[in-house]
Amino acid sequence: MILNEGRVIVELMVNHESRTVTVRPSDVLLDVLRGQLGLTGAKPGCKNGDCGVCTVIFDGWPVKSCLVLAVEAVGHQILTVEGLGGVAPVQKAFVDSGAFQCGYCTSGFLMVCHALSLNKPRAEEYEIEEWLQSNLCRCTSYKEIREALKTVFQSLS
């Protein structure tokens, strides 16, 4: 096998499946998920950690996949919006509350909300705000996203 430009073959655990990808040391997880695995739910919005549209869940915690090197993800559990399978309570809640318009920020918000509902099923209002401040939405007023999250929390309690 020929390795050039420092490319290496690594195994990533994505959505509970083991996937083999070829990465440069400088490749960020976002680009590898999108470019090599076709998981385009996570999106680029700034590639600078400022907008959150690239958010995935990393060992249970939401992270910005534009700020994670693909090689750093080796040995960790990555969950993307595709891995929610349409059955996570946040997904239905987002649909019911109209928590998106253009939908571009939605995967990112879903991942933050999903991780929050798993980590802190009794999150207080200030914690919800703290968690969700990592992400931006240009279309909605945020009221709808809050409402969606509220219904998820209600179903948990």
Partner 1 sequence: MGTAAGRSVKRKEAWDKATGNAKYTDDLPSLGHLTARLLTSPHAHAKIKNINKVAAFGVKGVKAVITGLDITALCGVLLQDRPHLAKDVVRYAGEPVAIVVAADEPAAISAAGLIEVEYEPLAHVLTPRAALKPGAPLLHDNPERYKRMVEDIYPQPKSNIASQYRIRKGHADTGFALSHMIVEENFYLPPSDHLAMEVRAARAEISADGMVTITTASQSPYSVIKQLSQSFSVPEGNIRVKVPFVGGGFGGKAPVLLEHLAYIASSKVGGRPVRLVITREQDMAAAPCRMGLEASVKLGCDDTGRLKAAELRFWLDCGAYADIGPYMAKSLASNCTGPYRVDNLYCDSLCVYTNHTYATSYRGFSHAEFTFCIERTMDELAKRLNIDPLKFRLINAVSPGDSSPTQVSLNPSNLGDLKACLKKLKPLSGWNGAVVPVDEHTVRAKGVSCLWKSADLPANAISGAMITFNPDGSLNLNTGVVEMGSGSKTQLAQILADKLDVDINQIHVKMSVDTRVNPEHHKTVASMTGYMAGNAVLRAAEDILAQLKTTGAEALGCSSDDIIVKGGAVYSLRNPLNKIRLKDIASGYKAPDGSSIGEPALGRGGFMLKGLSTLDPKTGKGQTAPAWTVGAQAVEVEYDTIEHTYRIISASTVIDVGMVMNPEAMRQIIRGGMAMGISMASREAYSYDQNGLLTTPTLRTYKLMHIGQEPDYRVEFVETPQEGSPYGIRSMSEHGIIGIPAALANALSNASGFSLNTLPLTPESLWKKSGGVSS
Which positions touch ligand FES (CB under 6 A)?
A: 44-47, 49-54, 64, 66, 100-106, 137-140
In the complex, the smallest distance separating the C-beta of residue 74 from ligand FES, rounded to whole angstroms, is 20
Dihedral of CA 55/48/30/73: which sign? Answer: negative
Alpha helices in 62-135 (DSSP H): 89-97, 106-119, 125-132
Q: Torsions phi, psi of 9, nearest 5?
A: -100, 125
In the complex, the smallest distance separating the C-beta of residue 100 from ligand FES, rounded to whole angstroms, is 4
What b/e string do you get for 81-93 counting C-beta neighbours within 10 Å, with b at 16 or more? bbbbeeebbbbeb
Burial of 60 (0-12, 13-18, 19+ CB in 10 A): exposed
Q: What is the pattern of x (binds partner 1, CB under 8 A) and - over residues 21-60?
A: ---x-x-------xx--xxxxxxxxxxx-xx-x-------
Looking at 9, 118, 139, 156, which residue binds partner 1 (CB under 8 A)? 139
CA–CA distances in Å: residue 55 to residues 49, 58, 65, 73, 156: 9, 9, 6, 14, 23
Asked if 94 touches partner 1 (CB under 8 A), the answer is: yes
The item of partner 1, ligand FES, none sharing an interface with residue 142, based on CB under 5 to 8 Å by kind, is partner 1
In the complex, the smallest distance separating the C-beta of residue 10 from ligand FES, rounded to whole angstroms, is 21
Binding site for partner 1 (CB under 8 A): 24, 26, 34-35, 38-48, 50-51, 53, 80-82, 84-86, 91-92, 94-96, 98, 100-107, 110, 129, 132-133, 135-146
